[in-house]
A and B are shown apart, each in its own frame.
Chain A
Amino acid sequence: MSQDRPSATELIRTVREFLGELRSRLEGADQYNTLVASYVLGIVEREITLAPALNQQERDEIAAFLNASGTLPELQRKLSENIRAGHHDDDWQRVLDLVMAQVVNKVRVVKPESLDPMHSGSRDKGGRN
C-alpha cells in the first residue's frame, strides 16, 4: 500500500511535539499523563522505524542458536521452554548473550538512554536511535 506524506513516524512525531507544548499549560494528573503519552508515542515512533530489521535479525539469531525454524513468536516460545527445562544450563554464557541482545533491542525501542555505554552505540541496521 502506498501512502502520502507525512509518513507514519512523521505523524507520530507531530503529535508528540504538540503534546510537549501542551504539557506546560496543564497541571497535576493531566500534566503527568501528557508526559506519559509523549513517552508512549516515542516508543511507537522508534518501534516503527527499528522493528522490521531487528525482528528479522532476532529470528535468525534464535533459529541458529536453537537449530530450529519457525516464526519469531514460535522461536521465542521454544527458547523460553528450553530455558525453563534447564536445556541451556550448560550453555549459560551463550544463552545469556543471545537473550541480552534481544533485550537490548527492546530497550532501544522503549528507552535507548537507559542502555549502558557498552550497548548504546547505534547499530548499522534500523535507522536512528
Chain B
Amino acid sequence: MADSSAETSRTGGELERLRSAIRRRFGAAAEIGNVVFPTLGGSNVTIVFDVVERTARRRLVSRQESYAGENNPFIPSWMQFRVMQLAYANKVPVPEPIFEYEPADQMGSGYVTAFVEGETLPNRVLRSPDFAEARARIVGQFGETFARLHSIDIAPIGFLEKTPDSIDPIVAQRDRMDAYGEDHPALELGFRWLERNRPAPSPRRLLHGDFRTGNLMIARDGLRAVLDWECCHIGSAAEDLGWLCTRSWRFGLNDRPVGGFGKREELLSAYAAAGGEKIEIEQVRYWEVFGLVRWAVINIMQAHGHVFGGRRSLSWAACGRNVSLMEYELLMTLAGRFD
C-alpha cells in the first residue's frame, strides 16, 4: 500500500529520524529505501522499509506507540519486545525482534522487527485458492505454535504478572467497560455467566492474547508469523485457544470455529500432540464466551476514540454500533442457539 500524498509532509521528519536510528545501529553508510506506510491496521505508527548496507538489503518494520490515554489495554513496547525476544528464542513463529528505540532516536516508544512476507487479510487467507494448501495444514500449525508458546518458562517475564489481564481477565474487561459509564445489560449477562462458571485453576502460561485471523501472517505453506504482541499476559492456556475460536473472526465460516479454518477437535489434538496440556472442548467454549464479551468491550473503547487518542473516525463510530452485533452473538451463544 503506497504512501498517500497527505502523509508526505508529516513523514519527512520521521524518515530522517528513522534513518538516524538505523545508522546508529547499522553504521553510517546504511541507507533506507522502499519506504511504505501501510494504510490499514491498528493503533501504532508503522513504517515498512529496506535497510541497505553495501550490498546487503533487508526489509524491516518499525512500530511506534501512538497516543493512548488511561485505560490503555495494550502492554508497553518494552514488554512486547521482551516477550517477542523470548518467543523468537523458543522458536515460536514471530517476526525477529531487531532493536528497541531509545530516547536519542526521538521516535518515542517502539521497536523494529524483521518484515515477514505473507498475507493477513482474512478474506484472502480464508477463501483464495492461493492459500488452499495453507488452509489444509494450518490448524495443526496453530496447535503446535500454541504448545510451544505456552511451554515457555515465564520466570524471565515476571513483570507480565502484574497487568490487569494477568491478575484477572474477566475483572479487567469489566473495569474497562465501567470506565465509560454505559449500560449494557447483555454484557452484564455475559460477565455474570463468566463469573458463575469460572473454570478450575490451571497452570499459568504465557499467552499471546490476540491470536486471531487478521493478526496471522500466512503464506502458501501455512503460518509464517504471529503479529501484534500488544495483549500478551499470563493466564490459562485455554484462554488463547478460545480467543482464536471466538465467533467474531470466523468471517462467516461459522462451522469452522478455529479462526474460520477448522474444527476445535483438530486444534486440541494438535495442541496435545505437540506437548500442550489437556484441554476440554467446554473450556474452549467458556473462553469463546469471554472472547465475545472482551471484543464488545474493545469496540466500546474504540467508539470513544480512547485507545487511539480522541480523533473522530468513521470506522470507530461504526465500532460503537457494532457492539450490538457482538451482544447478539453472545446472547445467542448463551441461549445455546449458536455453537
- Chain A residues with CB under 8 Å of chain B are 28-29, 33, 36-37, 39-40, 43, 73, 76-77, 79-80, 83-84, 86, 89, 95-96, 99-100, 102-104, 106-107, 109-111, 114-116, 118
Query: Which residue of A43, A84, A106, A116 contacts B188 across the interface (Cβ within 8 Å)?
Result: A84
B4 at the interface (CB under 8 A from A): yes
B318 touches A103 (CB 8 A): no
Which B residues are within 8 Å of any A CB, using their own CB? 1, 4, 39, 183-186, 188-189, 191-192, 196, 314-315, 317-318, 321-322, 324-325, 327-328, 331-332, 334-335, 337
- Complex Cα–Cα for A10 and B176 (A): 38
Nearest first, the 10 closest Cβ-Cβ pairs linking A and B are A106-B324, A83-B188, A76-B183, A36-B314, A80-B183, A99-B185, A103-B327, A110-B321, A80-B188, A100-B331
Chain A residues positioned under 8 Å from B327 (CB to CB) = 103, 106
Asked if A116 and B321 sit within 8 Å, CB to CB, the answer is no
Pairwise interchain contact B189-A83, C-beta atoms closer than 8 A: yes
Q: With contacts A29-B39, A83-B189, A103-B331 known, what are 13 further pairs, Cβ within 8 A?
A: A33-B314, A36-B314, A40-B314, A40-B317, A76-B183, A76-B185, A80-B184, A96-B331, A99-B185, A103-B324, A106-B324, A110-B321, A116-B337
Q: Which residue of A lies closest to B327 (CB)?
A: A103
Do the beta carbons of A99 and B328 come within 8 Å of each other?
Answer: no
Contact yes or no, A115 B328, CB < 8 A: yes
B325 surroundings in chain A (CB, below 8 A): 107, 110-111, 114
**A103 touching B192 in the complex, CB below 8 Å, given contacts A28-B39, A29-B4, A36-B318:** no
Across the interface, which residues of B come within 8 angstroms of A33, CB to CB?
314-315
The residues of B that contact A89 with a CB separation of less than 8 Å are: 192, 196
**Nearest A residue (CB) for B196:** A89
Residues of B with C-beta under 8 A to A96: 189, 331, 334-335
Question: Complex Cα distance A84/B184, Å?
Answer: 11
Inter-chain contacts of A104 with B (CB < 8 A): 328
Chief secondary structure at chain A's binding surface: helix
- Could you tell me if A73 and B192 are in contact, using CB atoms closer than 8 angstroms? no
Chain B neighbourhood of A99, CB < 8 A: 185-186, 189, 331
A107→B328 contact, CB < 8 A: yes
- Residues in B whose Cβ lies below 8 Å from that of A115: 328
**Chain B residues within 8 Å of A43, by CB:** 321
Nearest chain A CB to B190 CB, angstrom units: 10
Question: What residues of chain B lie closer than 8 Å to A28, measured between beta carbons?
Answer: 1, 4, 39
Q: Which residues from chain A contact B328 at a C-beta distance below 8 Å?
A: 103-104, 106-107, 114-115
- The chain B residue with its CB closest to the CB of A83 is B188
Task: State in angstroms the CA–CA spacing of A28 and B189 once bound together.
Answer: 40
Closest CB-CB distance, A127 to chain B, in whole Å? 19
- Neighbouring B residues of A118 by C-beta, 8 Å: 337
Chain B nearest Cβ from A53, distance in angstroms: 18
* Chain B residue nearest in CB terms to A97: B335
What separation, in Å, do the CA atoms of A107 and B188 have in the docked complex? 18
Given the complex, which residues of A lie within 8 Å of B322, measured CB to CB?
Answer: 110-111
Within the complex, what minimum Cβ distance (angstroms) separates B151 from chain A?
37
With most chain A CB atoms within 10 A of its CB, the pick from B39, B196, B324, B337 is B324
What residue of chain A has the Cβ atom nearest to residue B39's Cβ? Answer: A29
CB within 8 Å for A83 and B192 given contacts A28-B39, A37-B314, A40-B317:
yes
Cα separation A109 to B322 with both chains bound (whole Å): 11
Q: Which residues of chain A have C-beta atoms less than 8 A from B184's C-beta?
A: 80
Measured CB to CB, the closest approach of chain B to A70, in angstroms, equals 12
Interface centre among A83, A86, A116 (most CB of B within 10 A): A83
Q: B335 contacts which of A83, A100, A107 (Cβ < 8 Å)?
A: A100
Q: CB distance B314 to A83 under 8 Å?
A: no
Distance between Cα atoms of A28 and B185 in the complex (Å) = 38
Q: Which residues of A lie under 8 Å from residue B337 when comparing CB positions?
A: 116, 118
List 24 A–B pairs whose Cβ atoms lie within 8 Å, in order of A's numbering. Answer: A28-B4, A36-B314, A36-B318, A39-B318, A40-B314, A40-B317, A77-B183, A79-B183, A79-B185, A80-B184, A83-B185, A83-B189, A84-B188, A89-B192, A95-B189, A96-B331, A99-B186, A99-B331, A103-B186, A103-B324, A110-B324, A110-B325, A115-B328, A118-B337
- Closest chain A CB from B293 CB (angstroms): 13
B contact residues around A100 at 8 Å (CB): 331, 335
